[in-house]
Amino acid sequence: MKILVPTDFSENADNALEFSKKIAKHKNASITLLYAFYAVYDFASQPQRSSAK
Beta strands in 1-53 (DSSP E): 2-6, 30-34
* Segment 3-44, tens digit of pLDDT: 999 999 999 999 999 999 999 999 999 999 999 888 888 878
Burial of 3 (0-12, 13-18, 19+ CB in 10 A): middle
Using CA atoms, how far apart are residues 46 and 51, in angstroms rounded to an integer? Answer: 15
pTM (two decimals): 0.67
On the question of pLDDT at 50 being above 90, the answer is no
On the question of pLDDT at 52 being above 80, the answer is no
Rounded to an integer, the average pLDDT of 46-51 is: 76
